[in-house]
Structure 1
Amino acid sequence: MASTTTDDSEEVTYDLSPVLKVYKSGRIKRLAGTAILPPGLDPETNVESKDIVISEEHKISARLFIPKNTYTYPQKLPLLFYTHGGAFCIETLFSPNYHNLLNKVVSVVTIVYGKPKKLLAESRTMSLSLRLSKANVVAVSVHYRRAPEHPVHIGHEDSWCALKWVASHRRCNIASYLGIRVGTKGLLGVKLKGVVLVHPFFWGEELFGCETNRPDQAKKIHNLWRFACPSESGSDDPIINPIKDPKLGKLACERLLLCVAEKDLVRDRGLYYKELLEKNGWFGVAEVVETKDEDHVFHLFKPNCENALVLIDQIVSFLKQD
């Protein structure tokens, strides 16, 4: 990749816009996903969040999201273990995008956006922007070490470490990896009921499906992955290409919710993941949700649009199943 220079004449060795830039000095400038929100009570959703340290040595932390009514009416709730996206390089659990998303999922109140449309008893004409039912879960969002400062595999290991920590404290694309890890190694005292993959970032050396029609965009993703994980296997590393994962059929959950977006470049790989699971002998049941006319992680960039609220409602419904 050709070197360029910035306005202050500092040489850029890798320009991976709009994700990040790496300078000859070694300085890394992230171009997105740098905003943060502190924990605390969200008055709109009535969800309390709190930050905890899982490993000071490896700088692994997590944010807990707890429905406020559990303080008044103590109860045992299922746990949602959440790993954020960001192409393995940007975003954190402190990002407003992910913080606000989990507040909504864990919410114990009905959230109202905009003005209500005509309401009829037991009618489906109710504005979708008015519906957001609680999932009745406690959520744990993990902060893992990111590329390029750390190999992509480290982020997966950090997430596994955090999941084991959660299992040991049960009395008080990474998602796929963790589900398979539970299936091969087990997790004492914890039963993995389901996995939700929202616009999973799968990839591979050979173009697949709709990628063949968008070669320029595909090249950018290929370059980003090569930079983030410069292994010999490249984009065919099993971490990012499930086609190459011999352990895929050991996914430990009973149910899978696979969410894709119609305009997403990685849509077809996401859909193929379900087929791969079946071919590899997975014993569970997979449900696919496709959002029309939307692109990758649209629900983060347009959180109040009707399609985003419908998607959250579908995720919540999945989480509420026995």
Structure 2
Amino acid sequence: MSEVVQDFSPLIRIHKDGHIERLLGTSIVPPGDPNFNVLSKDVVYSPEPNLSCRLYLPKKTNPNQKLPLLVYIHGGGFLIETAFSPTYHSYLNTLVAEANVIAVSVDYRRAPEHPLPIAFDDSWTALKWVASHVNGDGPEEWLNSHADFRKVFFAGDSAGATITHQMAIRHGKDKLVGVGVAGIVLVHPYFWGKEPIGNEPKESERAFIEGLWHLACPTSSGCDDPLLNPLVDPNLASLGCTKVLVTIAEKDRLRDRGWHYYEKLKQCGWSGEVEIMESKGEIHVFHFLFPSSENAEAMLRKIVSFLNRERA
């Protein structure tokens, strides 16, 4: 194998001959899991290119009851993981079972083969596909029969949270007709900026995070690109939802960005409600590493409560 020219271990390595070596997030599992009272299946949301999502539906569903709809966007620095990985399949099964919602877990094309903003555009295409079911005559019967389009939530972790925020911005400007986005959940969002804030690292760790961004988005203007730094986005107040939950972890390098996003959202003129939850002593996406830990279970309960709370 050729010389490594870009090394972002433990995530990804780029070789001189162009070979892309993903070090994590390469495993996939089929839909379905006997350990959960949840049905799941894979559905194509964009035939060209061939892009799919994984749908989740609680088994004990009242045919006369519509369920809140959760659209989930996976993380992985825009570079690794898929909607079909064991990590996300297990998490969505758990979340759907606990919250009693129907969920669409979006798969999108990844950088660097497909540089940003392709992942954002694919996610918006998935949302438009979801919205095509509003009148009950879309291509997927689970959504036609069970989804309450007045109670739609977007959620994601890390880079998926970054995309989730942008989807709410797009919905604020280009409405998904018939879709009421009640709220968004941003789990350990991958936000950044040119200048350090709070207790952010000053040098080497910044270089790693910024290098990942430039690998994913080589045409970006830099770390103050509004796609990465919502604090400089003039459209922040047009966020197209009524409430936001931000979760952060005390030992996460991205922690302070989450706090600043929370504070900025309260001050920017946006009319919704925002809340934040910090997990003490925890690292970035710890809940995937230790799903049965006390803090992971507390965060899950918080998200479930957020999804089920009546809108003001």
TM-score (norm. length: structure 1): 0.86
Counterpart residue type for residue 18 of structure 1? P
Amino acid at match of 2:128: K
Secondary structure at the counterpart of residue 199 of structure 2: helix
Correspondent of 2:281 among 289, 293, 304:
293
Counterpart for residue 40 of structure 2 = 49
**Alignment pair present for 1:230 and 2:222:** no
In 1, the alpha carbon distance for the partners of 2:53 and 2:240 equals 23
Identical-residue share of aligned pairs (%): 53
**After the TM superposition, which parts of structure 1 deviate over 3 Å for at least 4 consecutive aligned residues?**
none
> What are the within-5 Å matches in structure 2 for residues 1-322 of structure 1?
8=1, 10-40=2-32, 42-70=33-61, 73-107=63-97, 134-170=98-134, 171=136, 172=144, 173-212=162-201, 215-322=203-310
How far residue 317 of structure 1 moved from its aligned partner, in angstroms, is 0.7
Please say if residues 242 and 272 of structure 2, whose CA atoms lie closer than 8 Å, have aligned partners that are also in contact: yes
Instruction: Tell me which residue corresponds to 1:114.
Output: none
CA distance in structure 2 between the partners assigned to 1:59 and 1:215 by the alignment: 40
1:128 is matched with: none
Quick one: distance in 2 between partners of 1:75 and 1:282?
A: 32
C-alpha separation between the residues in 2 aligned to 1:232 and 1:61? 27
Q: Secondary structure at the match of 2:99?
A: coil
CA-based RMSD of the aligned residues comes to 1.3
**Letter of the structure 1 residue corresponding to residue 25 of structure 2:** G
| Structure 2: runs of 5 or more not aligned | 137-143, 145-161
Q: Is the 8 A contact 1:20 1:32 kept in 2?
A: yes
Larger Rg: 1
1:89 partner letter: L
* Contact 1:176 1:195 survives alignment (8 Å): yes
* One-letter amino acid of the structure 2 residue matched with residue 15 of structure 1: D
Distance 1:310 1:31 in 2: 30
For 1:274, give the aligned amino acid: Y
- 1:122-177 deviation per Cα after TM superposition (whole angstroms, max 9, x unaligned): xxxxxxxxxxxx21210100000111011221100100110111011232111100
**Rounded Cα–Cα distance in structure 2 between residues aligned with 1:180 and 1:165:** 18
| Structure 1 residue 211 displacement after superposition | 1.4
* Residues 59 and 145, structure 1, Cα contact 8 Å, conserved in 2: no
Q: Distance in 2 between matches of 1:26 and 1:145?
A: 18
In structure 1, distance between residues paired with 2:165 and 2:91 = 20
